[in-house]
A and B are shown apart, each in its own frame.
Chain A
């Protein structure tokens, strides 16, 4: 640290001090420069792209050449919000997203509690690896493996048959999608919930026992409220990711399993009707905006 003082680099060292003094005194300058970098990236690329997309929802396309026709109209929105088909699809998407979120919360909570409080440090590290590793095994490959598990002559029915239980016909159905979605997003729920539980100081739980609360009471009154922000944070992922997905419905969905994402994709990637797709895409956009506002109130942003 003092090496620069005697050597010929002295002026630059002194200049650096002056520069950092400037930043210290004018704290906002430092903040501004730090912020400018990511903000520029976001504003100029991401936000601009989103805004243009939303604007195109008010336009339409020529059916034969699929050229963009820039006349302002509300036709797309009218279709999206009044046609019963699109309503059905939206309700189905939101419903399954909610079911997946609740399922993942229920599955993740005891697991996260175990990881945070019962596991030894080595076990904890192992569990971390076990939870993170599936994220590296291709999403597509894992969903495709579920096709095999849930098929009529697949692994699940084979096991049930061996156990003498009745076989299930849930392949290519909403049930299959619910299971697969819950499976895929589980790590995203486990991590924030674990982080939240892990932050609960031992002293809280000890105090609760000292005050006479039995196990379940402590869980209900101390652990759950403190883990809740983590649950909400995890739910942002499970809900949002399910809401916008179209690949799982394509791979394991059935005849009545169309999601908002499928309609959007069919209109963009297939019919090249971007305005209509953008109009329908406002539905998940609005839903998520609402969800984020609520999540913020519930403290999720601090628990991410």
Chain B
């Protein structure tokens, strides 16, 4: 359908965009081997000493662990709340439905610093159940993770025919069975890709975390501290390079899983 010229230019464009996306990442990986403390161009020399020193750095381990815990918890909460919200909004008509949709998008649409400030003041005011630390980090992250899951699930629900549910019940399944055998498989891949995105956002979050972490360091906060200091920067590069390498597999798998269901395009 597209002309040959169009095809070629689109291929070229695609390659340029990929190059654009990965140039900084290539630099990050290459500079993990930087001989010098300070980043400068061109690279001054190669060494693998940073890998060892990062591995033995207790601060990194603590920060990484905290980030993982927070991301897992926030994603889990988001999956439950986001799915519930998505179903409520898509399947039922009630007053204020538009407003609810609007509210659910606020955490992503409002600047992170507002969310961070607001939650910080709130935690200080309310006090007891919200002592600064892992708990408050999780709450902060959950606010936008819920939104991500909500959007993914509701998009999928909208593309699914409601007659599937009716058919299930006509065949004698009760509510729980319908959910387990019909609804859940339909939304499962949307949940997976949404959960992965939510996890990524939580894992890499800086702004809201700055205000809700108290004295603790998540990985991004640790990275920021190292960037401030300007010493031993290659340790940051090492950590990021390793994370990229480790996440290639899960991201690819999640992608393979989320092949579209519902309306097929080429039928």
Q: In the complex, is A directly touching B at CB under 8 Å?
A: yes
Mark A residues whose CB is within 8 Å of B.
1, 16-17, 19-21, 23-24, 27-28, 30-32, 34-35, 37-39, 41-42, 45-50, 52-53, 56, 107, 110-111, 113-115, 117-118, 125, 127-142, 144-149, 151, 153-155, 158, 183, 186-187, 195, 198-202, 205-206, 209, 215, 236-237, 240-241, 243-247, 251, 260-261, 264-265, 268-269, 274, 277-278, 281, 284-285, 288, 291-292, 296, 301-302, 304
Residues of A within 8 A of B131 (CB): none
In the bound complex, CA of A28 to CA of B77 (Å): 24
Shortest Cβ distance from residue B55 to the other chain A in the assembled complex, whole angstroms: 18
The 8 Å CB contact of B203, one of A19, A37, A136, is: A136
Closest chain A residue to B203, Cβ basis: A136
Which 10 interchain pairs have the tightest Cβ spacing?
A244-B111, A20-B175, A31-B92, A49-B122, A35-B88, A49-B118, A145-B24, A38-B85, A34-B88, A38-B81
Residues of A within 8 A of B2 (CB): 117-118, 215
Residues of A within 8 A of B77 (CB): 41
**Further pairs besides A136-B244, A292-B105, A304-B105: 9, Cβ < 8 Å:** A38-B84, A49-B122, A125-B255, A134-B25, A138-B219, A149-B23, A155-B41, A205-B1, A247-B207
The 8 Å CB contact of B28, one of A137, A183, A288, is: A137
Residues of A within 8 A of B244 (CB): 133, 136-137
In the bound complex, CA of A243 to CA of B40 (Å): 30
Shortest Cβ distance from residue A120 to the other chain B in the assembled complex, whole angstroms: 12
The bracket for how many chain B residues form the interface is 35 or more
In the bound complex, CA of A282 to CA of B248 (Å): 40
The 8 Å CB contact of A133, one of B17, B120, B155, B247, is: B247
Total residue contacts A-B, CB cutoff 8 A: 290
Within 8 A of A (CB), among B81-106: 81-82, 84-85, 87-89, 91-92, 94, 100-106
Known: A118-B10, A304-B155. A240 touches B87 (CB 8 A): no
Residues of B within 8 A of A241 (CB): 111
| Contact present for A138 and B139 (CB under 8 Å) | no
B61 at the interface (CB under 8 A from A): no
In the bound complex, CA of A277 to CA of B116 (Å): 12
The 8 Å CB contact of A237, one of B9, B84, B108, is: B108
Within 8 A of A (CB), among B109-134: 109-115, 117-122, 125
The 8 Å CB contact of B118, one of A53, A110, A202, is: A53
In the bound complex, CA of A187 to CA of B224 (Å): 23
Residues of B within 8 A of A198 (CB): 260, 265
| Contact present for B24 and A146 (CB under 8 Å) | yes
Residues of B within 8 A of A240 (CB): 108-111
B201 at the interface (CB under 8 A from A): yes
Closest chain B residue to A24, Cβ basis: B175
B27 at the interface (CB under 8 A from A): yes
In the bound complex, CA of A127 to CA of B142 (Å): 28
Shortest Cβ distance from residue B68 to the other chain A in the assembled complex, whole angstroms: 13
| Contact present for B20 and A183 (CB under 8 Å) | yes
Known: A39-B100, A132-B200, A281-B114. A149 touches B24 (CB 8 A): yes
Q: Mark B217-244, 1 if CB is under 8 A from A, else 0.
A: 0011001100100000000110110011
| Contact present for B105 and A142 (CB under 8 Å) | no
Residues of A within 8 A of B112 (CB): 244-245
| Contact present for A281 and B10 (CB under 8 Å) | no
Listed by A's residue number, 5 A-B pairs whose Cβ atoms lie within 8 Å are A34-B85, A52-B121, A137-B243, A148-B41, A149-B23
Shortest Cβ distance from residue B254 to the other chain A in the assembled complex, whole angstroms: 9
| Contact present for B236 and A141 (CB under 8 Å) | yes
| Contact present for B266 and A202 (CB under 8 Å) | yes
In the bound complex, CA of A289 to CA of B1 (Å): 41
| Contact present for B243 and A139 (CB under 8 Å) | no
